């Protein structure tokens, strides 16, 4: 199996690749973890991971600046129905639009928008940073074998607002309920960082490999 991690200049690529390699070792799976910025490499992949850090608009533009990347991603995910895992802004890009930095279009794979978290409680800060417990909303194997305290690590100021609640796979509370995982067919994403979430994060990656 080949798992490609898309390197488009935005995301903690080294930590993600190390975490995926560790998860593969736990499963005793023969997996090639390929960090790539080449669209052609996607065609040879079985699964892909799309990390993301920074602003929605910046990440979207970096991907679009790589010639052929958007076409290959569309073919892989939408036409061939192969599995993708979006992390943080990588997940947010699945939405129709993001409002950050004046707004920009996303991929439109999961109906919804990405908007700034509205904080009214002066004791809460943005970015939402640190550990929060998530509530699983969908019965999916991607959340199998979690520990009793389903805590994951977050760093974000914007949230994915899904049009259809059936696409919300998990949520957490930060003043209000916030979507922290989305799932639609072969498309999965988390707002939290599995590569920074210790045992539960590695378990999510193991589940994605087996998915």
Q: Which positions are annotated as active-site residues?
A: 88, 193, 195
Q: How far apart are CA 98 and CA 114, in angstroms?
A: 4
Both tokens of 2, joined, read 């080949």
Provide DSSP, 140-195.
-GGGTT--SS-EEEEEESEEEEESSGGGEEEEEEESEEEEEEEEETTEEEESSBGG
Answer yes or no: are the C-beta atoms of 185 and 140 closer than 8 Å. Answer: no
How distant is the alpha carbon of residue 154 from its chain centre? 12
């Amino acid at each position: 199996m080949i798992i490609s991690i898309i390197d488009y200049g935005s995301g903690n690529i080294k930590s993600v690749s190390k975490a995926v390699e560790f998860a593969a070792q736990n499963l005793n799976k023969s997996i090639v973890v390929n960090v790539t910025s080449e669209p052609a490499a996607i065609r040879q992949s079985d699964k892909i991971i799309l990390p993301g850090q920074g602003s929605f608009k910046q990440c979207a533009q970096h991907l679009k600046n790589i010639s052929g990347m958007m076409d290959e991603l569309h073919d892989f995910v939408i036409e061939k129905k192969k599995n993708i895992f979006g992390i943080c802004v990588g997940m947010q890009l699945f939405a129709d639009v993001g409002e950050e930095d004046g707004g920009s279009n996303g991929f439109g794979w999961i109906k919804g928008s990405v908007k700034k978290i509205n904080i009214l409680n002066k004791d809460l800060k943005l970015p939402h940073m640190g550990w929060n417990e998530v509530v699983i909303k969908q019965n999916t194997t991607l959340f199998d074998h979690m520990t009793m305290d389903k805590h994951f690590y977050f760093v974000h100021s914007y949230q994915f607002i899904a049009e259809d609640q059936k696409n919300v796979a998990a949520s957490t509370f930060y003043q209000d309920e916030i979507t922290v995982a989305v799932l639609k067919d072969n498309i999965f994403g988390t707002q939290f960082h599995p590569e920074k979430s210790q045992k539960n994060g590695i378990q999510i990656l193991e589940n994605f490999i087996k998915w």
